[in-house]
Amino acid sequence: ISTQPVTPLEDSLTIPRSNEEIVTQLKETLKQSYPEFKLEIIDKLSINGLVDFSSAVVQIKKGRETSLSEEMAHIVVEMHPEKAKFLEIAASTKLYGMVFEEYSHRPEYWKNGKVDLELIKEETAGKLLAEAVYAESSGDWSKFDDWVSDTRRKDFIKLIRQWLAKF
């Protein structure tokens, strides 16, 4: 495992944008569409948020509630019938390289002595989906466009709109 320093969360260039309106909608979506998941807001969490699929718990650091966007995106990607397509698109983006650079130094992203590329793809896909939800809501696609090439943008947006149409 690399000994390079881990990027502090607040300095990360890979954090998708969100806002209170999106968080409110996502809390409702979590209750209605994924009732098996429990939401916990925790004072002392070492990261902004996480999804524990084995316990069906979403944990968000208090004061970082906008992280719910990315954590919900991880649930959607994991349960989406076209998960493999999400991961394929994610692996072909600029963001994938950024996430690899940032996360490959963290022990939880290693498996059998090397970086777990599937986890990096999953992390990237969740970030892309969360940013796309923000962009769709706000009309500001600038960060998403910086992360994704024009050719992949169309594929990803098609998958996202199929999911959003359900709500």
pLDDT digits 0-9 by tens, 70-99: 999 999 899 888 899 889 989 999 999 999
Average pLDDT, the chain: 87
For 38: left if phi > 0, alpha if psi spans -120 to 50, otherwise beta; the answer is: beta
pLDDT at 47 over 50: yes
4 alpha-carbon distance from chain centroid: 23
Give the pLDDT confidence score for residue 10 in this predicted structure: 53
Calculate ∠ Cα 59-60-61, nearest 5°. 125
| Dihedral of alpha carbons 72, 79, 16, 144, sign | negative
d(CA 31, CA 11) in angstroms, rounded, equals 31
Do residues 50 and 126 lie in contact, with contact meaning Cβ atoms separated by under 8 Å? Answer: no
Give me the helix-helix angle, 83-91 and 68-79, nearest 10°: 120
Reported pTM: 0.85
Between CA 163 and CA 8 the distance in angstroms is 32
